[in-house]
Chain A
């Protein structure tokens, strides 16, 4: 893929902001990104915006409502919805627009105010002759963490992953998150505290499942030749790929009520596909990556993604965790931002928290959570219904 630069990033802190419209949160993130790039809103030539699940029609047409508060300029607005993989997909779309020569400066933006607790059912207003999987599974009482638990159980039995390993994931991510001023949860948890938290969907505990948050982020993308005008240190988008599942995926994937594994098809195949595609786009391999932001929706995700993204062999991720090599200072620091575990997930905006962290790390601006000498960072976001996106950034 043609090299595209990131010249500005902005991130609203994650948390719960009931008094604040999401358009305001997005505008604050956007102003930070524009200031970081040293450009004006009127310089932005195209807007790609993450749509929302929870915001009704305003959320679906998020880019239009966002542009209204920023000041309408007639620029092309594209609203994108790929479930929780939306932000990564927005990055991919924005890169394609520049790559195709349609614009030199594109803003990628996303904001979300997520539902509290278990994500709720969204009503369907038309009748299908057979109810969809998603309608069925909500009626059957199967929220998202149930799917992760069913998959986690398989991992425990197959590879000998224990309760303690699952709890150690939270200990690790919370240690990083405690150092991040943009994170919502900044407490360092002990193993005992995590193990004392209640089981929600056995074997996953409350502290091993990410909370739901409000958040917003914005990224200014620019063609590489124009980027030099704005910064002496552009960050390069080496890859921004999108993946979808392979037939015969063995995963208990949200929102299925049945699955038929086929030989040779990997777990979370959509994520395996996106990672492979990102490595192919960039010519970068797992060994070249200095740190990774995985979508740690739960402890299971943290362990699974290290294998899916190729940072260790199948069934080895809990050993990698135990070795300490996933901490800042280790071989492959995982979620130096603190991850979803420390942010809580603001669904459509979540990938922007990863991109923001990667850009700051690559610029060497992360102070006490800096991955020393980081040159290449990678992230992946995991979305319901088999959505995925992988991003590789380098300096």
Chain B
């Protein structure tokens, strides 16, 4: 059996700190705003100093809105033949930034606004090179 290689969906997006998956973001020390994915400058047009640093975002947050992807998403996403509807959420983190992602570990009907969730790094799909693409998702706490 060939070993399945795991490949992140992109470089510099997430990491593992003390065994916990975290998103990599940019924090502006001048105005306090956060940016994900990370960026080379602060995007706040009113911020003059733009002193930025790389940070890891909080792992837990609350669902601010949700939907369900009832049909298999189009390519390059690779949907399995037995595709089942997947919940999609926006999650507000304590940093006040909202992150969009799919949910795992629950049914679409169980997703509610305000529910507490935590970040996981998990296979999104397997591509034609038999590589598992890893992405951030959320799961109920």
Taking beta carbons and an 8 Å cutoff, which residues of A are in contact with B?
A: 117-121, 129-131, 133, 135-143, 146, 149-154, 157, 198-203, 247, 252, 256-261
Contacts and interface: CB of A to CB of B under 8 A. Distances in A.
A153 B66 contact: yes
Given A140-B124, A247-B43, A150 B67 contact: yes
A130 B68 contact: no
Given A202-B70, A258-B36, A150 B76 contact: no
A252 B73 contact: no
Contacts of B10: 130-131, 135-136
Interface of B: 9-13, 33-39, 43-46, 64-71, 73-77, 79, 86, 88, 90, 96-102, 108, 113, 124-125, 133, 135
A150 B11 contact: no
A241 to B, nearest CB: 20
26 contacts: A117-B74, A121-B74, A130-B10, A133-B37, A139-B124, A139-B133, A140-B102, A141-B102, A142-B73, A146-B88, A150-B65, A150-B100, A152-B67, A153-B67, A200-B71, A201-B68, A201-B88, A202-B68, A247-B43, A247-B44, A256-B100, A257-B37, A257-B99, A257-B101, A259-B98, A259-B100
A201 B86 CA distance: 10
A53 B70 CA distance: 26
A245 to B, nearest CB: 11
Closest 6 CB pairs of A and B: A141-B73, A149-B67, A141-B77, A131-B10, A202-B68, A258-B36
A166 B6 CA distance: 41
Contact of B73 (A143, A198, A199): A143
Contacts of A135: 10
A202 B103 CA distance: 14
B55 to A, nearest CB: 14
